[in-house]
Structure formats: structure tokens, C-alpha cells
Amino acid sequence: MTKVRLYNGRTAWLVTGAAQARAVLSDYRRVSIRPYHGNYPLLNEEFEKVVDSGYADVLFGVDPPEHTKQRQMIMPRFSLRRSAQLRPDIQRIVDEKLDEMMSQGAPADLVSQFAQPVPSMVMSLLLGVPYDDHEEFETPARKLFVPELAEEATAELGDYLDRLIQKKENNPGAGLTGLIDDLIVNQLHKGAITRSELVHIAMAMLVAGTDTTTNVISLGTLALLDNPEQWEALRADHSLIPGAVEEILRYVSLVEAFARVAVEDIDLDGGSIKAGEGILISCAGVNFDPASASDPDTFEIRRPPRPSFSFSHGIHRCPGDNLARLELEISFRTLVERMPNLRPAVPLDQLRSNNNDGTLQRLFEFPVVW
């Protein structure tokens, strides 16, 4: 634990130890996730614009009891059993996108042709959002994390989802149905949530469930190909895939930091956090803590499987972790089965990424051949 200065001159505690991180994230009575506290630690202006847009007004931006109520509404669709039922559909989607890549021929862009459409199609299926409308929700979702476009993107995506909800209300059971339909029948029509809340919950699920998995697929493939012996091991022994998924999640450490603010004084090994002080829990700091993984700087898919910190911890742990793991397992298994000679089409140092701007790590494109 150490004090750091943020871009806007404020200070916050940076937590990089596994034990301290778990203690902070478990302490939901004395630690708040709401981004409207005065000292809530934002990493850059981009996050400030996203918060102002209203995107964080549900689920990962609210504390109990609101969070508890909203989470209970969505969790049945994200259970291990319900996620497993999607395996045939996810496999079909993955095969379909690889068929298209292979038919078009090499080189291909792994990001735009595979890593982006697979999670988008899976979340469309789960939520009941017609994938034929994908430009209507993917375009504003991409703009959401551009500071000057965040407010506009939130309005565009909100308008689309509001129209979709209205269409589903007018024709219940028609077309593709999913979580949004459940929430309309069981929550909206019973007065448990407002239409605005439903729109924001759908928005949160749609954006969080696509962008994150897209980036783990592309960056995970990069990690494997940048360590050829690891790709060869995975190609030779598919039983290593579940462990490889956990190692990719740990090594990529997609989220820069989980932000919180103390609402009461907290004494931890390493420091005393006062009420009102901001806290940043470093995802990579915890995943690379020797207490979490031996020889942490090494990418090793044979490492004994151990859940990473990448889905966070405590009551705000990602509700879609079961589904995300399943998507990643199917994606990497199918890649090594169908493209065993996959390799980068350009030198890796030419790949464009945003690895220093404090947002989700991402590759903008990843040309590959096979």
C-alpha cells in the first residue's frame, strides 16, 4: 500500500498486495464503489467523462442495497449451469467466425474478424439483442470510452436499447429472447425497476460483456504466440486449456485498477486509510504478487490453475465470470485445433495498442497468418 498522486492532483492509496486487496474489496460496509464521492479516484479524464455519462449508475457503480437487488435480478442467467447450456451456441459462433476468416484467406485481422464479433454475438444471444442490429450497439459502445464522445455514445446506446425494450413489450416472446425479456416481465412490469434502470442494466451488460472478452482473446493469443513454447504445449495437450485460460487472465490483467473510496477509517497491514480517501486496487499488482503466483513475471500455462484476480473479488466480483471463462476456453481450444500454425503476420513491436492510457488494455488490430 502506498500513496500516489492522480492526474488531477488528488491522492489515493494504491494497493498491490493480494491480502490487502481482498480485505478492501470484501469490506463493502466501509468501502464504497459509488463514483460520486468527492475523492473517488479516477485514472484519467476519460473515466471522468464515462462517469458523467451515467454509464456507472447501475451494478458496478452502486453499493448495497441497490447493488444486491440488481445483482439478484441478473444472476440466474449467469449461473454455471445456465452458462454451460450456451456451449453449443458459443462453439457454433466461434466456428462460424473462423470459417469466415479461413475462407477469406490470410492475412486476417484476429481482432476485427474474431475477437470482436464472438463476444458481441454471445452477449446478443444472452441478452436477447438481435445481432442484425450490431452496428447500432457496437458503434456507440466503441465510442463510450472516448472522453469527448462518452455522453453522445451513452445517449445513442440508451436510445437503441429503449426502442428495443419497447419493441419487446409490444411483441412479447417474438424474435430473440433473453435476459432483457426476463427483466421486462419479472422486474419492469412488476415495478421493481424503472425503464431507465433497465436500459442502464442492459447497457452495462452489453458493454462489459463484450469489450473485456474481446481484449482477453486478442491479448491472450498474443501472449501465446509471443511465447511459442507455450503455444506448442497447448497445441500438443488440450487438457492444458482451462489452466491456460487462468494464466492468460492473470498475465494480461486487463483492468488497470478497481477504484473505491473509504467511507470509514480502515486499518490494514501497510497503512491506515481514512474516511473519504480514495483507493485503487491494482489488478496486475495483485496478479503479479508472489503471494498469488510463483515466478509471476513468467507466462506459464502449466502453472497449477488458480483463479486470478481479474474478475475482482467480493460482492462486486464480475457476474459473468462463468460465461467469460467458457467463451475463452472454447475460443482458444478451437484456435489451436483449427489453426495450429497460427502466427503473427507482422513484427509484434508494430502492433498498435493502448497499453499506457489507464483504460482496458487492448490491441487495435492483430494481423495473423496460419
What value does the mean pLDDT take over residues 270-279? Answer: 92
pLDDT value of position 150: 75
Q: What is the pLDDT of residues 202-260, one digit of tens each?
A: 998 998 899 899 999 999 999 999 999 999 999 999 999 999 999 999 999 998 899 99
Share of the chain above pLDDT 70, in %: 95
Q: What is the pLDDT of residues 117-135, one digit of tens each?
A: 999 999 999 999 999 998 8
Query: What type of residue is 18?
Result: A
Q: What is the pLDDT of residues 72-103, one digit of tens each?
A: 999 999 999 999 999 999 999 999 999 999 99
Query: What type of residue is 58?
Result: V
pLDDT tier at 177 (50, 70, 90 boundaries)?
A: very high
| pLDDT of 7 strictly over 60 | yes
Domains defined for the chain, CATH in brackets: 51-258+291-369 (1.10.630.10)
Backbone angles phi, psi at 4, to 5 degrees: -130, 155
Q: Say if residue 172 is preceded by a cis peptide, omega within 30 of 0.
A: no
Q: Cα(164)–Cα(175) distance, rounded to whole angstroms? A: 11
Give 137's contacts (C-beta < 8 A, 6+ positions apart).
129, 157, 160, 161, 206
DSSP string, 227-276: SHHHHHHHHH-GGGHHHHHHHHHHHH--SSEEEEEESS-EEETTEEEPTT
Work out whether the CA dihedral 60, 61, 64, 70 comes out positive or negative.
negative
Q: Cα(271)–Cα(255) distance, rounded to whole angstroms? A: 24
pLDDT value of position 236: 96
What count of other Cβ atoms lies within 10 Å of the Cβ of residue 196? 13
Indicate yes or no: pTM above 0.75: yes
Q: What is the pLDDT of residues 25-68, one digit of tens each?
A: 999 999 999 998 888 998 877 677 667 666 677 888 999 999 99
Share of the chain above pLDDT 90, in %: 75
pLDDT value of position 175: 81
Q: At what angle do helices 150-170 and 45-52 cross, to 10 degrees?
A: 30
pLDDT value of position 49: 67
pLDDT tier at 356 (50, 70, 90 boundaries)?
A: low
Give CA 2 to chain center in angstroms: 26
What value does the mean pLDDT take over residues 140-161? Answer: 82
Backbone angles phi, psi at 68, to 5 degrees: -60, -45
State the average pLDDT for the chain: 91
What count of other Cβ atoms lies within 10 Å of the Cβ of residue 38? 8
What value does the mean pLDDT take over residues 9-24? Answer: 94
Give CA 99 to chain center in angstroms: 26
Q: Cα(40)–Cα(214) distance, rounded to whole angstroms? A: 28
pLDDT value of position 324: 96
Lowest average pLDDT, out of 150-154, 241-245, 255-259, 314-318, goes to 150-154
Provide the grid cell at 337. 485445433
What value does the mean pLDDT take over residues 274-302? Answer: 94
Provide the grid cell at 2. 502506498
Q: Say if residue 107 is preceded by a cis peptide, omega within 30 of 0.
A: yes
pLDDT value of position 135: 87
pLDDT value of position 54: 64
What count of other Cβ atoms lies within 10 Å of the Cβ of residue 228? 10
pLDDT value of position 144: 75
- Between 354 and 186, the more confident residue is 186
pLDDT value of position 355: 62
Provide the grid cell at 151. 455522453
pLDDT value of position 75: 94
Closest among 107, 110, 106 to 94, alpha carbons compared: 110
